[in-house]
């Protein structure tokens, strides 16, 4: 799949338009929501402190345990439940990456399950695994096992990255591994470092079914109408 195989509106329908900078203001969030509506993207991804906020026709996505994932599972669960009660449609939670590196997969499973049980079955739950860090500090099998355990615990998506880890963001290889590791019912969200249409198209071809973008306009402008 190449850029020429994809149309702008089809790619926009896969995009979580993202604003997660620590210094972001409510005015910034409102501007992001307005831009999301203009671009016709699927969702707006914000920090939980921005809630409650009206995202209009776009779904509301909120991060949990962000960005380190080192929060206690019960804290993540409470944060996720509060976000849903405040209007979030989707939750993007960060796992304990250290537990994954040490192959403590049961702990990853329990972490995800605790959040899933807190938000119920109807909420879309995306599980951020920091794929670049796992590939750097562990190996491909570890990344695959983490994703498989997340799926069994109730993940709706497995997601590559927070975009804040020094190891980096999404890669084509990570998406390929993640896609192969989870059932078809589970999506793969690629995020972190996606700045142009060509890379976005490569990630979609590799199996990404959602894209997390902070520079959505620049990426979408690379696709034909």
Give the chain's domains with CATH numbers.
3-221 (3.20.20.70)
> Which residue in 92, 96, 111, 126 is the catalytic one?
92
92 included as an active-site residue: yes
> Which residue in 16, 111, 126, 159 is the catalytic one?
159
Helix (H) or strand (E) holding 216: helix 216-220
189 included as an active-site residue: yes
> Which residue in 16, 76, 96, 189 is the catalytic one?
189
196 included as an active-site residue: no
* 110-169 per-position pLDDT tens digit: 999 999 999 999 999 999 999 999 999 999 999 999 999 999 999 999 999 999 999 999
* 161-217 per-position pLDDT tens digit: 999 999 999 999 999 999 999 999 999 999 999 999 999 999 999 999 999 999 999
H helices of 63-191, where? Answer: 73-85, 97-101, 105-119, 131-137, 140-152, 172-181
Residues forming beta bridges with residue 125, ordered by sequence position: 91
Look at the pTM and tell me if it is higher than 0.95. Answer: yes
């Amino acid at each position: 799949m190449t850029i020429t195989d994809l149309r702008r509106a089809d790619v926009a329908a896969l995009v979580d338009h993202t604003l997660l900078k620590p210094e972001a203001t409510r005015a910034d969030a409102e501007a992001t929501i307005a831009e999301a509506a203009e671009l016709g993207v699927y969702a707006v991804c914000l920090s939980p402190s921005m809630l409650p906020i009206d995202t209009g026709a776009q779904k509301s996505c909120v991060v949990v345990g962000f960005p380190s994932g080192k929060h206690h599972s019960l804290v993540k669960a409470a944060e996720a439940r509060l976000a849903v009660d405040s209007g979030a449609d989707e939750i993007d939670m960060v796992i304990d990456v250290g537990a994954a590196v040490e192959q403590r997969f049961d702990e990853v499973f329990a972490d995800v399950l605790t959040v899933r049980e807190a938000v119920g079955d109807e909420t879309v739950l995306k599980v951020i695994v920091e794929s670049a860090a796992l590939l750097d500090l562990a190996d491909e099998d570890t990344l695959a096992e983490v994703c498989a355990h997340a799926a069994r615990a109730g993940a709706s998506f497995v997601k590559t990255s927070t975009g804040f880890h020094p190891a980096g963001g999404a890669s084509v290889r990570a998406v390929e591994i993640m896609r192969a590791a989870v059932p078809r019912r589970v999506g793969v969200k690629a995020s972190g470092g996606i700045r142009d249409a060509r890379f976005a198209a490569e990630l979609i071809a590799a199996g990404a079914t959602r894209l997390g973008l902070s520079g959505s306009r620049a990426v979408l402008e690379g696709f034909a109408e």
